[in-house]
Structure 1
Amino acid sequence: MSFGQGGYGGPGGQGQGSGFGPPGSGGPAPDWGALADSAAAERRRKRRLLMIVGGALATVVIAGAVAAAGVTTSGGDDDPASSASEDRISGAASGSGKDDPTFSSVAPPPDPKEFIASADKDTAPLTVDSFFPDAKITVSGHTYERRATHHTRECASAASTKLAKVLGANGCDRLFRATFTRDGSAVTVGVAVFADEGPAGRAAEQATGNLESLPGDGVPEFCRATACRLTSNTLGRYAYFTIAGYADGKSVTADDTPTSEAVRDTGAYVYRRIMDRGREQALKSTEQ
């Protein structure tokens, strides 16, 4: 049943409902009590319908809340992504424990520089061959021939007066030298041995004068009365020096390429030989 505004037509007005005319139209008088009962019944039906629909909606909302709670609490973490990543790392999803990561307890190898820092650890034999074992060396594509080797415990005897004083003041124990040649250039490289890295570093820093060049096997004395190229450096308990020039006595100029390459290449070679000495001793220490 439907009603117009007010449920009926007012006196003297046009009714908006259907099935009933206004009073005074000549039809039978309406049963007002029945109409009232019917309207009350309709209101009760609508209220029941609303209660049923509302109850169903409430059920849906509660179920949704439970589902949401299941998502946010499933892993004990508010971030499902982080929970999943933890499972992948730990292997918890399999439950077997076979996929758990393992970590090696093996200690890293010792630092080779520890074994060349002082005589206490640097106990390998000190010989000419331990520093200059190769008859030919190739560094940066440049090949040199070894022409002479020498070693002495009198460091001052293999250096100029100024450098001899520096070596003596810092306690040089022995000095190893080798001469290499390449395309007319000649270079002598010397390795001075000290008790530890302290005096070796000071000797390289204080170096003045020059290492005496070493002649031999077709190489005459060189760098005795002409300009030559000099370097000094240090690694561990060793200071090493180079002096490079020409076998024919030609003077070295500031932009001279062969002698620049000679001091750089032989210096790099000696550096590697000293580092190899440290590596070999470090490796042996792990085998004991």
Structure 2
Amino acid sequence: MSFGQGGGGFGGPGGQGQGSGFGPPGSGGPAPDWGALADSAAAERRRKRRLFTIVGGAVATVVIAGAVAAVVVTTSGGDDDPSGSASKNQISGAESESGKGDPTFSSVAPPPDPRKLISSADTDPAPLTVDSFFPNAKITVDGHDYDRRATDSTDKCASAASTELAKVLKANDCTRLLRATYTRGDTAVTVGVAVFDNDGPAGRAAEQAVGNLESLPGKGVPEFCRATACRLTTNTLGRYAYFTIAGYADGKAVTTQDRATKEAVQDTGWYVYRRIMDRGREQSLKSTEQ
């Protein structure tokens, strides 16, 4: 910054006058004390640097506190503390300790994705039993009550399917087929879960599926859907393909407008979907406890 003639300096934006703000040269006034002016300017620069340092420090503290808040919310679980009081305490602590150095955080790996765990036998080692897929003697889905009447498990998947579906299961190396039959009034539905080594063959089996799952008779349920029209569904999740077949215990044919069988395949299919997802979630939680 110039303090001589022609500089804007402390005299405003310059222009016509030279050194304006302290009286033009030749006005008869006393000569400026250039040393005092230089000292004053230096002091002003030092004051601005101190102010910048203070403001910068305040901003840094806010950023650190914000980082603490994010970590607390992520690792402690917001649902457990909706009031946010734990986060506020942590922020307060970070601000009071800000002069002692940057805070450090322990890295906590998130639990594995349940869908990935159930996509391969290598990451899905939980037992493959009827109790793990069909544990409830009574289920209620969407307000509809069903009673479990029979269960079955076999490593010969083709033996529990029609000729067409048996070929598909065999071609994709199905390793186990678990079934359960449920009833609601005079409606009977068998749901089956076909197990594969990974999600590739499971997806192909569901896509190629023709024919039907063999219905499973049981307590109070005679053979059904053997020589009459019934409702079928096919789905896949992870390394599992699952099938339903619903009809009437008295052999009555199912029509496209039939509501009870439509609800039966939707309800039991949803139930099995949830059971497979729960399988993944349970194994994900166990992996974080080890």
- Normalised TM-score (structure 2): 0.70
- Could you tell me how far 1:257 is from its partner in structure 2? 2.1
* Residue 62 of structure 2 is aligned to residue 88 of structure 1: yes
Query: Structure 2: how far apart are the matches of 1:118 and 1:139?
Result: 28
Q: 1:233 aligns to what?
A: 235
Equivalent residue of 1:96, what SS?
helix
Shift in alpha-carbon separation, 1:269–1:94, aligned structure 2, 3 A? closer
- Could you tell me how far 1:73 is from its partner in structure 2? 6.5
Query: Structure 1: how far apart are the matches of 2:120 and 2:138?
Result: 30
Q: 1:9 aligns to what?
A: none
Structure 1 unaligned residues grouped into runs of 5+: 1-45
C-alpha RMSD of the superposition: 3.0
Q: 1:160 aligns to what?
A: 162
* Residue 52 of structure 2 is aligned to residue 75 of structure 1: yes
Query: Structure 2: how far apart are the matches of 1:71 and 1:93?
Result: 26
Equivalent residue of 2:100, what SS?
coil
Can you list the C-alpha shifts for 1:207-257, whole angstroms capped at 9, x where unaligned? 011101111111122212222111111112111100111222222222322
Count of residue pairs the alignment pairs up = 235
Equivalent residue of 1:74, what SS?
helix
CA contact (8 A) 2:61 2:98 kept: no
Can you list the C-alpha shifts for 1:148-205, whole angstroms capped at 9, x where unaligned? 1111122111111111110111111121110111132111000111121111111011
Q: 2:18 aligns to what?
A: none
Query: Structure 1: how far apart are the matches of 2:206 and 2:188?
Result: 22
Structure 2 unaligned residues grouped into runs of 5+: 1-25, 65-93
Query: Structure 2: how far apart are the matches of 1:279 and 1:172?
Result: 23
- Could you tell me how far 1:95 is from its partner in structure 2? 5.3
CA contact (8 A) 2:162 2:214 kept: yes
CA contact (8 A) 1:87 1:93 kept: no
Shift in alpha-carbon separation, 1:246–1:68, aligned structure 2, 3 A? farther
* Residue 199 of structure 2 is aligned to residue 197 of structure 1: yes
Based on CA coordinates, which of the two structures has the bigger radius of gyration?
Answer: 1
| % identity of equivalent residues | 66
Query: Structure 1: how far apart are the matches of 2:168 and 2:226?
Result: 20
CA contact (8 A) 1:89 1:101 kept: no
Can you list the C-alpha shifts for 1:1-47, whole angstroms capped at 9, x where unaligned? xxxxxxxxxxxxxxxxxxxxxxxxxxxxxxxxxxxxxxxxxxxxx94
Shift in alpha-carbon separation, 1:123–1:70, aligned structure 2, 3 A? same
Query: Structure 2: how far apart are the matches of 1:101 and 1:136?
Result: 53
Shift in alpha-carbon separation, 1:261–1:232, aligned structure 2, 3 A? same
